[in-house]
Amino acid sequence: MMRLMRVGAIVIIAAIAAVPGARADERVDVRWPTPPPSHELTLDDRLANHLSEYGTELGAQLGVLSHDMIALRVDFHGNPRARLRVGGGNVRYLTLRLDSHWYFADNKATVHSRLDLGIAGHMFRLELPTMEVIPDSYHGQQLVQVNVPLLQRRF
């Protein structure tokens, strides 16, 4: 069955499947069912995967170029975070290492870090206070604001 419909200056010819006892809107659903849901990754997930891979590759190259003095690991899935380690030395003589964990949320980075110092076989570990790193600007100049608490209260 062919039906002619006139909409403004456009003539539309609609072919309606002849399904006995069905309404017009049901006939279209039977003729052209909805496509199955896509199991493909969303654009956000694909970008997070690519950025994580690029960060990990950059960290691996930094490790090779610095003879394992610098290590970087980046993960952009869920809550973006990174781990940066800098330092080296020999535990028997002198060693200095800085290990930091970076968590990114609400346009700021929260940094948990510790400093390891080894002298003549004795290791000292110093837990640094949690810092907040916030991007800022002053008179058109881009800068970074670092907030370090002097006193921390823990309950």
Residues 29-59 pLDDT 10s: 666 677 777 788 888 888 888 888 888 888 8
Judge if 16 and 82 occupy the same domain: no
* Whole-structure pTM value: 0.63
Range of the domain at 84: 44-101+112-129
Judge if 50 and 84 occupy the same domain: yes
Judge if 123 and 75 occupy the same domain: yes
Assigned domain for 148 exists:
no
Judge if 53 and 97 occupy the same domain: yes
Judge if 122 and 75 occupy the same domain: yes
The contacts of residue 47 (CB under 8 Å, 6+ apart) are 76
